[in-house]
Structure 1
């Protein structure tokens, strides 16, 4: 039997303890896709153009590099043999002498999926930060990567088969829904599209109650019609995937999505909202669920964002010094 390999999944590795959930998720997904799996660790030892000749004791640099290779080797060993259903295609490990953000974004440029974890924090630090658990690297790559980014804090709910998609009508939300049904076609999961809305009719000055009621009814009709159009389109793209939709009226879409995420296998969101303010990074709702969801979250950019981010990356590389070499795993 010949195994056909489709694509490449990249997973960021810090320590095996902090990265295990992300590593296991990435390995299962790569295996299900028949894709290659690349384990990437970025290590920026000192803030100098050439950290390996910056005057630090060679023994210290060698120790730090060996420690990084040790974590990569342990992670590779944990997934290389796969399970009863088989493992990923080719599994390799790469050490990059650069900041982890840069290392992951560079690796993601030719990847189908980038997977990161969320660093564990002490209970004291988590309390001081208001419970925020997401590391800056994960948030940064979710905001700048040219491929979908999966942030895995822990396992999904036991036996969960639903992929919940937050849909607000934006291009990024549509891209998220399309990604979800394509993923579900491989996994056999179901897709539930969730639209959270609130009419602004009551905010308009000078409208009488009857006009407010008519405006709100028109808004609700438009929301349902937009969702029905999407569901019909998704059904045509992946007719074998079970897709449903729900409309919820609420002022806080992040709360509704987080409640739904508690019982789902995967929460899928677009990387921007409607307004210019919230689209500055990934959108306020996506930002909130990334920080607080216990289930894995996928952030999907739309085609326009992907093109823009690639132009930005090429422009930055054109004016920047040469990147440190990527060092593949030693065998």
Structure 2
């Protein structure tokens, strides 16, 4: 990847993070990971040139964001360590971590490299992925906040809290999307009956799960979608014009590797909007 490509990706993510931090009255911290290459390993560029470029990128990003958001508190830090370890360390005490990602097409969403996959799978705080060629700021900030819910039990609480708070700060609609698991179906009549029954049960369960959050955020307009189909497809259809999509990632044991779950994986690869991945039990 060229310096220009990386700069463009980082600036898009930084601009999204700055707008969100301003809405929430939070400080913004820009971080660049830097690690010296061993002298016996050939590198494409002179190390002094790389160091100068890294410092310049941080400085220019800070200056640009201060110019656009003069009331925003912006700080920068260059840390000597691998990118994954730096980002995971920052996620320990941040309300959210914002990363840029390369798109791989005008329709497809994110191209997740090993760095993004590793951070998403291990971060303890929500991680927001922002496409390099993202929608306009107006579409991102004004569109619905769509949250995909698989389990409507206690594990849904972190997702709903993040999504309702995001909708409140954006003053926009929250759309809750639920695709319940279907039992095996046998015969046409049974299919029709079970579909109707499952739809009614799912809508009732979703309404109950949303009730305490509606009471906590009475200013947030709420819509909901129940789809008896593949969960990732239901979420992606609802998120076609979204400003932000919120999905969950179950906290796995390290032995299970870099899994983020099928729904989160599909949404990250195909959603056009920024995607927030929220860890939960």
Q: TM-score range by the shorter chain?
A: 0.7 to 0.9
Counterpart of 1:11 in structure 2 is: none
Compute the displacement of 1:63 (Å).
2.6
Q: Which has the larger radius of gyration?
A: 1
Counterpart of 2:14 in structure 1 is: 23
Counterpart of 1:327 in structure 2 is: none
Q: Is the 8 A contact 1:151 1:298 kept in 2?
A: yes
- 5 Å-filtered alignment, 1:249-264, equals 249-250=228-229, 252-264=230-242
Question: 1: distance between equivalents of 2:207 and 2:147?
Answer: 14
Counterpart of 2:183 in structure 1 is: 200
SS in 1 for 2:179: strand
Farther-moved stretch of structure 1 (258-267 vs 213-222):
213-222
Question: Does residue 288 of structure 1 match 2:272?
Answer: no
SS in 1 for 2:151: coil
Compute the displacement of 1:194 (Å).
0.9
Classify 1:156/1:178 alpha carbon distance in 2 versus 1 (closer, same or farther; 3 Å): farther
Q: Specify every segment of 5 or more residues in structure 2 that has no aligned partner in the other structure, as ranges.
A: none
Aligned-residue RMSD, C-alpha: 3.1
Counterpart of 2:97 in structure 1 is: 114
Q: Is the 8 A contact 1:156 1:265 kept in 2?
A: no
Question: 1: distance between equivalents of 2:168 and 2:257?
Answer: 29
Number of residue equivalences: 266
Classify 1:280/1:174 alpha carbon distance in 2 versus 1 (closer, same or farther; 3 Å): farther
Compute the displacement of 1:289 (Å).
0.8
Farther-moved stretch of structure 1 (155-164 vs 252-261):
155-164
Question: 2: distance between equivalents of 1:17 and 1:64?
Answer: 17
Classify 1:248/1:21 alpha carbon distance in 2 versus 1 (closer, same or farther; 3 Å): same
TM-score (norm 2): 0.82
Question: 2: distance between equivalents of 1:246 and 1:257?
Answer: 9
Classify 1:97/1:105 alpha carbon distance in 2 versus 1 (closer, same or farther; 3 Å): same
Compute the displacement of 1:77 (Å).
1.4
Compute the displacement of 1:45 (Å).
3.4
Question: 1: distance between equivalents of 2:143 and 2:257?
Answer: 30
Question: Does residue 165 of structure 1 match 2:154?
Answer: no
Compute the displacement of 1:88 (Å).
2.1
Compute the displacement of 1:78 (Å).
1.5
Classify 1:231/1:131 alpha carbon distance in 2 versus 1 (closer, same or farther; 3 Å): closer
SS in 1 for 2:247: strand
Counterpart of 2:248 in structure 1 is: 270
Question: 2: distance between equivalents of 1:74 and 1:65?
Answer: 14
